[in-house]
Structure 1
């Protein structure tokens, strides 16, 4: 297994692998509305109080 720091720079777009494996959050509503791939970068926007 590979370890990385959380605040490390992201690899360039050309050197990234394609996303084939889904990431299951365990929340059916989230998994069905917003499918996320393992290793995919995802922007999450929302109010801090929700």
Structure 2
């Protein structure tokens, strides 16, 4: 058996698993929006926490 056959089987197995367990595209987008909303409430912009005067 050529060396590529087991590798191909493993790849196909992984791809089938990934397709079964795929996250809906709206989920990560909603998480990004929520974290941006929380950051905006804390007045945190690019670069981390605001400097304390």
TM-score (norm 2): 0.19
* More RCO (CA 8 Å, sep 6+): 1
Structure with the largest fraction of helix:
2
TM-score when scaled to structure 1? 0.19
